[in-house]
Structure 1
Amino acid sequence: MVVIVSSHKEGFTRRPDKITGGPIYSDVLERIENCSISVVTEQCRKDVRALQKDENDIKESVIRAVRFGRFIGSEWCQINRNEVWAACDAYSFYETAWIEAAHKEMECELYIKFCIGVTGNMVLTVSLHTPRQR
């Protein structure tokens, strides 16, 4: 059974397709102070731990990304293998972060992908990471 956990549900195709016309969550800045944050993928949990971020830090990252970052696009993301999906907005932005390999804080590019949950009172973070090598 397919479950969509994002408040945006239109145009779902059961594939990780791009969504035209974004950003979907143009009201996230008005909502975020009253929202909870939930990290919803295992990889995002690992990345958040590596970046040493807590819920408030993630909120600040969403705010920074939307205010100052570059909107990359909107897309359908499969959250897990159990057919859980979300329509997400993706951004790149810069902030100072602890880089373990360098043993210091550095200004670096980060990527974040998030959605507003079905009830409207939670921001679900699907990914938050530095650039990955391909």
Structure 2
Amino acid sequence: MRRSRQSAMALVKRTTTWLAVTVAAVAAATVVTAGPSFAVSPTSATATASVGYAYFNADTQVLSIHDSHADGYGIAVINYRYDLANIGPYYGWNREGSGTTTYYYLHMPPLGEIKFYVCPEQNGVVIEYECGSRAFGYAGTEI
């Protein structure tokens, strides 16, 4: 049995339809992936615990660790830097006593992200079950 030949017009219609479907699928995928964008802006943050607090200043990129209780414990701040190849954890300490503040200058790129939390410490041992909640900050312009 011989196969009938398609007319040139039928071939053009089929090719045009296939091309239209492909273009529509690519356009739909582009719209779906574009979606809404969430702009990140410099954000300062504070993390607290029973022994004190840590404050990240987005403008100066300084992490301040303040001991606010005369309880015999120091303060450890555990932080993760998402602008570095090794995100951490990194540790900051304040062992100077109640009412003191220790400063860490972080030198982060613009919008570099940091996550940190505060824990009591004694003799270099972090007491993890008394840590406070996590805080997130984004650095401002590079200093």
TM-score by length of 1: 0.25
Identify, as 1 or 2, the structure richer in strand. Answer: 1
Higher relative contact order (CA 8 A, sep 6+): 1
User: Based on CA coordinates, which of the two structures has the bigger radius of gyration?
Assistant: 2
